[in-house]
Amino acid sequence: MNIVKEEPVLISGVVAALLTLLAAFGVPLANDQRESILAFVAAALAVAGAVVARSQVTPVATVRGLRAASYDSGVEAGERAALLGKH
């Protein structure tokens, strides 16, 4: 399970709850500081989510290269389908 990909709102909520808890125990945090921390966490989660999403896809150039190679090298139709992930 990848918590960054599946639960970014949960992480933001936990950070917000921790900031509230710190303030309740007397840690001096101005509203501007709290909002800045939450904005940073939201931005960091967006970047982390993009990195995770990017790692889960196949670049178009790779697919095009496989397709071109299968046609240029005399690969048979069944082998071509296997190369392209079609069964």
Q: What digits encode the pLDDT tens for the residues 8-34?
A: 778 888 888 888 888 888 889 888 988
pTM of the shown model:
0.54
User: Is pLDDT above 80 for 44?
Assistant: yes
- What lies within 8 Å, CB to CB, of 72 at 6+ separation is none
Query: Taking a C-beta distance cutoff of 8 angstroms, is the pair 49, 4 a contact?
Result: yes
Picking from 27, 8, 11, the residue whose alpha carbon sits closest to that of residue 19 is 27
pLDDT at 7: 79
User: Is pLDDT above 60 for 87?
Assistant: no
Comparing 22-26, 51-55, 75-79, the range with the smallest average pLDDT is 75-79
Domain locations along the chain: 1-56, 58-87
- What lies within 8 Å, CB to CB, of 16 at 6+ separation is 38
Picking from 45, 19, 48, 12, the residue whose alpha carbon sits closest to that of residue 33 is 19
